[in-house]
A and B are shown apart, each in its own frame.
Chain A
Amino acid sequence: QVQLQESGPGLVKPSQTLSLTCTVSGGSISSGAYFWTWIRQHPGKGLEWIGYIFYNGNTYYNPSLKSRITMSIDTSKNQFSLRVTSVTAADTAVYYCARARGPTDYWGQGTLVTVSS
């Protein structure tokens, strides 16, 4: 059974960088079959798709966030990561890492990141 777990600071100051890591267990992140994905959900709101990274490092970022987003992957640790620069209160959200192969079939539990001074 594949499991994903987000980790990272729960509080980030405005203008700083948000960094999250997703650790995958129960399956290899090196499989070429999946898109390793980040999705966020603002409090009480709907789902916003951030982007994905492929096992070989190829990425696709949502254009709405592209200028501030970087994703990376570490196959040796079975992890992938998200960085969001120059954060504001609008980046306060629950961040989910997930696995997608077309549909998004496995999700982490999510981690709340609050942007506040």
Chain B
Amino acid sequence: DIVMTQSPDSLAVSLGERATINCKSSQSVLYSSNNKNNLAWYQQKPGQPPTVLIYWASIRKSGVPDRFSGSGSGTDFSLTISSLQAEDVAVYYCQQFYSTPWTFGQGTKVEI
């Protein structure tokens, strides 16, 4: 199984400041045939299911605010919230869908 490790486990950021979450996979999730990283980022607010923010490591889902961005390739990835808003308080997960079983990171809790 590919192990996904996020850092930090929790993060406190002031409103309007930048938040960066890291995700490292135990092996590359770059699919060489199409040069796409099979990695997604999800946001989960209390009592709600996760929602996808970013896929293919850096493609923002339609409707997701542009303060959210994803970067990285191979085994090292980041999710950045450029200017934290109150509604961004949530737990964020990375997930690889390169190989089964698809696996998630342990989650990073973002607080104000």
Contacts and interface: CB of A to CB of B under 8 A. Distances in A.
Contacts of B105: 46
A33 to B, nearest CB: 14
Contacts of B42: 104
Contact of B40 (A63, A64, A103, A107): A103
A22 to B, nearest CB: 12
A75 B81 CA distance: 40
Contacts of B95: 47, 49, 103-104
A109 B101 CA distance: 22
A60 interface: yes
Contact of A104 (B40, B56, B106, B107): B40
A102 B38 contact: yes
Contacts of B61: 105
Contact of B101 (A46, A49, A100, A107): A49
Interface size class of A (residues with CB under 8 A): 20 to 34
A62 interface: yes
Interface of chain B: mostly helix, strand, loop or mixed: loop
Contacts of A60: 100-101
Nearest to A37: B102
Nearest to A47: B104
Contacts of B97: 100, 102-103
A68 to B, nearest CB: 15
B60 to A, nearest CB: 12
Contacts of B107: 46-47
Given A102-B56, A104-B40, 15 more contacts: A46-B106, A49-B101, A60-B100, A102-B38, A102-B40, A103-B52, A103-B56, A103-B97, A104-B95, A105-B52, A105-B61, A107-B49, A107-B50, A108-B49, A110-B49
15 contacts: A46-B93, A46-B105, A46-B107, A47-B50, A47-B95, A47-B107, A49-B103, A64-B101, A98-B49, A102-B40, A103-B97, A104-B40, A104-B95, A107-B51, A109-B48
